[in-house]
Every structure is written in C-alpha cells, then in structure tokens.
Chain A
Amino acid sequence: MYSFAPSSFPALRPLGDASVLVEFGDGISTELNGRVAAFERVIRKSVIPGVLETAPTIKSVVIRFDPLEISFEHLSATLRGLLDQHTDLSNIEQVSRRVWNVPVCYDQALAPDLAEMANALNLDIPEVIRLHSVNVQQVLMIGFAPGFLYSGLLPDTLHVPRRTSITPEIPPGAVICAVGQTCIAATTMPTGWYEIGRSPLRNFHPDRDPAVLITAGDTISFSAIGKAEFEAIEAARDAGNWQPECDLA
C-alpha cells in the first residue's frame, strides 16, 4: 500500500489521514534543518486551501490539513510542485537573521546534573561550562511543550546520550543538554536530559506579544552569568524590564 522507508529525500510521508510530513533527511544537521525551516516558509507563503497549519521540526515539516477540503493526493502533488520549484532551498532568503543573546547561569544550585554530565564526558565542571557557554547554536525546532526550544549542534566533546532516569520536574528556564543539543524549558516539565543551568529566558509567556520570542531558524548565543547577575535579571524580567537582546545577523 505504501512504500515504507524512503529511498530518497525529500520524502512525503502520511501521518494518519489528516497530516503529512515532508522529510528532508534521516539525521540531524543544521544544514538539513535550515532547509526544513526554508521549506516551511515556502508552504506558508503559498497559502494552500485546506491546509490548517504547518510547523518545522528537526528534519521535517509537518502539514496538518482538512481531508474534506483537500485530498492527500492533491496536497501531495502541490507539495511536490513546490519542492520542484525550490530544489535549492539554501538559495531562499535566510529564514531568520535573528541572533538572540541567551544568558545562562551554570551555578551548581541551578545545575543539578552538571557534575554528572562532566563525569560522563570525562571533563571537569569548569571545562564543561566553558565549552558549553561559548556556543552559537541554531534553533532546530519549538516542540514538546509551548516555547520549548531545541538548539544544536554542540561540538562532539559535549555529546552525551540521554540519562537513564527521568527528572519528574524541571522549572521554566531550565537549560538541559543531551544528544548534541541544548533545550531551554519554557514551562514546568519532566525530562530525561542533563539539567546543566538556568536561563532567565521565558520563551513562552501567553500575555506577551509575541507569546513565543525565539522560533525555529533563529540563532542563539549563550553567555555565562553568575548567580547574582542571574537573580538581578530575573527580578528585572519579573518587573517587565528585561528581554533577551536580539541582533540581526
């Protein structure tokens, strides 16, 4: 009935009867993820009747549609047409030129798993902080929970698998690390990743416009801050006087 594992990319893959994935590859890379973000923008600009919403993920674009408005066959043909028109998605105007400065406090009081991660990497804690905080990362997707951002990719020296146990609750602002990626929680949630710091960033705030500041395709630049500075920024943020700095590349 279907061909299963795609032999070539980009591949169209149905998810049930009302969604389709356009998959650009089977791995994680910032180049592949950049094409995902670019193609998601192409679909949004095309305004296809019957398409309810689209979202970029790490390696694919998901398209939710109303099967009563557009058939899977018709939508697939339209998507194939768009892919044919945009064979070189890297030529598309860069999806986002935004570079956000994201302060991270790696103080041990806010980094319960930093020692465990340093141990897993065979590095000492200051070295892990130094190696992590110098990174400029691409936002790969917003997923799992509102405003929850995935970024990557970290240098190989910082690659660790997920932990074997689950932390039942991490707070908004928690900076977590595993599988070459860094995520920043925007809401309280469980995780199986290493919690290595805390950012004053609240990437989801329903009363703010926009409610989500940093989106897929943006760039984030970490900067290490001390606990006193972290607390000062948190106080300023709560008073409505702080937002992460954003430059245009």
Chain B
Amino acid sequence: MTTVTSQPHTGAILRVNRAGPYSSVQDLGRPGYLSWGITEGGVADRIAYSEGLTLLGTPSVTPACVEIFGMGGCYEVLEGSIQACLTGAPIPATLDGQEISHRTTFAMTAGQVLDLGIIRGGNISYLMVGGGIDVPMVFGARSTHLRASIGGHCGRNLRDGDVLHVMPDMSRNVGLTLPEFPVDRRDTTRVMLSAQSHLFSDEERARFFATTFKITHELDRMGARLSFDGAPFLPNSNAPIISESIVLGDIQLMGNGQPVVLLADRQPTGGYPRIACIVRADVPSFVQKQPGSDVMFELVDHTESLTALQAQERAIASRQKHLVQATIDKENLMNLNSTNLISGAVANGEHLPWE
C-alpha cells in the first residue's frame, strides 16, 4: 500500500498575512469554570470540527484549529510543513493559486500561501492543521474566549501579522476527502423549553412556534439576532426577572420582544426571559444558517432530542468509513516529494482505494 508520511519534526510556523474579521483559535472549549462566570465556549460547529479530526486522522485528540466566521484571510507557511484541511461551510481556497478542495487534506510547505475567500452556503469554516495550533492551555483548553480575553492567540481574534506555531505532527495523508455530512434536511430547528418558558402565555408560545423567523446579520460567536413580522413576544408580566443561568442555544427575548439565540461565547447569566432552547443536535445546523434564511422552531421532548443526538453521534463516529483518497495530481506529488514527506504508514490507510 502506498502511504505518505514525514519524519517527526519540530512544529511548523504559520503567519496570518491577512486575518478575516472574525477568525479565532478554537478547540472543544473549557467546561468546569461556569461558577467563575466563564462559559465553556469552544467551536461553534462541533460536527465540522469532528470532520476535521477524521480527515487529519486524530479523532481522539482535540487539536486547536482556526475558526473562521464569514470571511477567510491569507495564511503563509514561514517554516516547516503542515498537513491541513478545510471543513464547515464551503470556503473558496487556493494554495499558491491552485484551488484547494473542501473537506480534503492537503500539504502546505514553507513559502506557500493559502488564500481563503468569502464563505458560501454557511457562516463558519474551519482551517484544521495536523497537530493543532500551538497556543498555551488556559484553564484546560486552547479555545479563545472573547468575553474573558483568555485562550487562543492572546485571548483575541486573529489579526494581520499574527504568527501561529503548529504542534509537531508526524502524519501526512494528503488528498483524503470526506463526502458532505449526511445532513438531516429538516424544515425546523428543534427546541426544548427553557428557564422562563412558563412566563409566556400558551397563546404567546403557540405563536412563537408558528412564526417564521429570519437570521439577521447580527450573528457572531456570542449570539444570533432573529427578525420576524408580527408583534413582539412578551412575557405575561414585566416584573423584573432574577438573573438566571443561560445555556447554549437559549432563545432570549430582549426588552423589545426580539429574539436572540445565545451561542458558544454567550454570557453565563442574564435577566431577559428565555422562551426555549435549541437542542444540542440542532446547534451546528443552526449556526450555519446564513443571514436571510428562514428558521422555524419545533418543540420536542427529551426522548426525541436524545434520539436525534444519538443518531448524530453515530454518524460522526462512522465518518472514518467514508474517507476516500482523491486523485493526487502530479504537481501535488512533486510538492510532497520536494518536502520529503514520502514513506511510512498512515492511520487511515485501511480504506484507501489507492495502492
């Protein structure tokens, strides 16, 4: 079997020549600090992240990646070589002018420039690199937490000129590709009740679940504002609400009755009423809904939400089986040869139709 690998080497170095406006280093986040007022954070689309792990052949570790919101940017390898892939929403990408396929591993070597365009068909893409971005662990994670200004690269979004180190990585497995995730093409986003659902009348809740909302441009790691036609959604009484815990996916109604869905970098507590909460299985598809898309919420129970989550986890776990080896063109092979990446064994070799 033909396989591709490199000798162990010290980590590569990647420079952000031009940062997208909302790009940050993320991993699975840091549960455990809620009582300090720090939400778990982490990647907004965990399915896209898990696909990157499958492609890179490291499903059991959680390397840090670059999460890109909206617009890509430009990255140059200063030293070493990197195995990488792009997952999440499709993002136009070229490496030294050569088009890079989505959800496909590729190699980047010193001097090469990766140019990422404007995300299409979603909001968030991931630049995943073998070994992961080497930033310090802060409270058990490498995720950037913007509200706390901790983690990631200097606790903030990436900026032009930032230099990112990449952890040493042995595996080289270029041209592996994954078909699109078997998306459950539902018309509705499933929700359950939340902390203040009972403060809304039956009629107001029924109207909420019968309303078609639109995703607005006010969408970031903290939350997504929704718009709709109709009267604002108001609780039965305007008595002040005692600040209460906010969880991922909570749908909060602001003082003007407009909904905001709270996401990965939300605040841990708040005093606006929350009418419902998106179930875990539907958070990844929700965060990829583009501004202008319609969203309707459907109330489900614990049994239904668990069934959906279990099915999704099974699909994620079985992704390895769907890895295929794309044809590698000669130029790519030349690149591989020139960077001494040949020979050895790769974790995912079992399924390669490439001998």
Residues of A within 8 A of B (CB): 1-2, 4-5, 13-19, 21, 26-28, 40, 52-60, 62, 64, 67-68, 71-73, 141-148, 150, 161-162, 179, 186-187, 204, 206, 211-212, 215-216
CA distance A146 to B267 in the complex (A): 9
6 A-B pairs closest in CB distance? A16-B277, A143-B269, A4-B198, A62-B245, A17-B305, A55-B34
Which A residues touch B313, using CB under 8 A? 68
Residues of A within 8 A of B334 (CB): none
Contact with A17, one of B36, B197, B280 (Cβ below 8 angstroms): B280
By a CB distance below 8 angstroms, the chain B residues around A17 are: 192, 277, 279-280, 302, 305-306, 309
Interface readout for B237-276 with A: 1 if CB under 8 Å, 0 if not?
Answer: 0001011110111100000000000000001111000100
Nearest neighbor of B34 in chain A, beta-carbon distance: A55
Instruction: From B32, B147, B243, B248, give the contact of A53 (CB < 8 A).
Output: B32
Per the bound structure, the CA–CA distance linking A59 and B273 in Å amounts to 15
Q: How far is the CA of A88 from the CA of B21 in the complex (A)?
A: 53
Give the shortest distance, in Å, between B240 (CB) and chain A (any CB): 7
> Quick check: A57 and B245 within 8 Å, CB to CB?
yes
The verdict on A16 contacting B242 (CB below 8 Å), with A68-B310, A212-B36 known, is: no
Interchain CA distance A33-B238 in the complex, whole Å: 23
Contacts of B268 in A (CB 8 A): 55, 143-145
Closest residue to B198 on the A side, CB-wise? A4
10 further A-B pairs in the complex, CB-CB below 8 A; given A59-B244, A72-B302, A142-B35: A15-B245, A16-B192, A21-B245, A57-B244, A64-B247, A144-B37, A145-B37, A204-B148, A206-B139, A215-B36
* Contact assessment for B270 and A144 in the assembled complex, using a CB-CB cutoff below 8 Å: yes
Chain B interface residues (CB < 8 Å from chain A):
31-38, 40, 138-139, 147-150, 155, 191-195, 197-198, 240, 242-245, 247-250, 267-270, 274, 277-280, 299, 301-302, 305-306, 309-310, 313
> A204 vs B195: C-alpha distance in the bound complex, in angstroms?
27
**Among candidates A15, A60, A179, A187, residue contacting B247 with C-beta atoms closer than 8 Å:** A15
Which residues on A sit within 8 Å (CB–CB) of B248? 16, 18
Q: List 11 A-B contacts (CB under 8 A).
A: A16-B191, A18-B280, A21-B245, A53-B31, A144-B267, A146-B37, A146-B147, A179-B240, A187-B148, A204-B37, A206-B138
Candidate in B33, B242, B270 with the most chain A CB atoms within 10 angstroms: B242
Of the candidates B138, B244, B299, the one whose C-beta lies within 8 Å of that of A21 is B244
Chain A residues within an 8 Å CB radius of B310: 68
Q: How far is the CA of A206 from the CA of B152 in the complex (A)?
A: 13
In the bound assembly, the distance between CA atoms of A56 and B36 in angstroms comes to 10
> In the complex the two chains form, is B269's CB within 8 Å of A4's CB?
no
Let me know if A148 and B31 touch, CB within 8 A: no
CB distance from B279 to the nearest CB of A (A): 4
Distance in Å: Cβ of B72 to nearest Cβ of chain A: 29
Query: Within 8 Å CB of A144, what residues of B?
Result: 37, 243, 267-270
Q: Are the C-beta atoms of A5 and B198 separated by less than 8 Å?
A: yes
Q: Please give me the residue from chain B that is nearest to A72 by CB atom.
A: B302
Min distance, Cβ A48 to any Cβ of chain B, angstroms: 14
- Report the separation of the CA atoms of residues A27 and B242 in the bound assembly, to the nearest whole angstrom: 8
Which residues of B have CB within 8 Å of A4?
A: 197-198
CA gap between A190 and B135 in the complex, in Å: 29
Contact B245 A71 (CB under 8 A): no
Judge whether A67 and B280 touch: CB under 8 Å. Answer: yes
**Residue from the set A16, A56, A143 with the largest chain B CB neighbour count within 10 Å:** A16
Q: How far is the CA of A144 from the CA of B37 in the complex (A)?
A: 6
Q: Which residues of chain A come closer than 8 Å to B150, judged between CB atoms?
A: 146, 206
* A212 engages B242 (CB within 8 Å): no
Min Cβ gap B36→A in Å is 4
- Whether B243 lies near A141 (C-beta < 8 A) is yes
Contacts of A53 in B (CB 8 A): 31-35, 40
Q: In the assembly, what is the distance between CA of A146 and CA of B306, in Å?
A: 31
CA distance A146 to B134 in the complex (A): 24
On whether the beta carbons of A58 and B243 are closer than 8 Å, the reply is yes
Residues B35 and A15 in contact, CB atoms below 8 Å apart = no
Enumerate chain B residues within 8 angstroms of A18, measured Cβ to Cβ.
247-248, 279-280
**What A residues does B250 contact at CB under 8 A?**
15-16
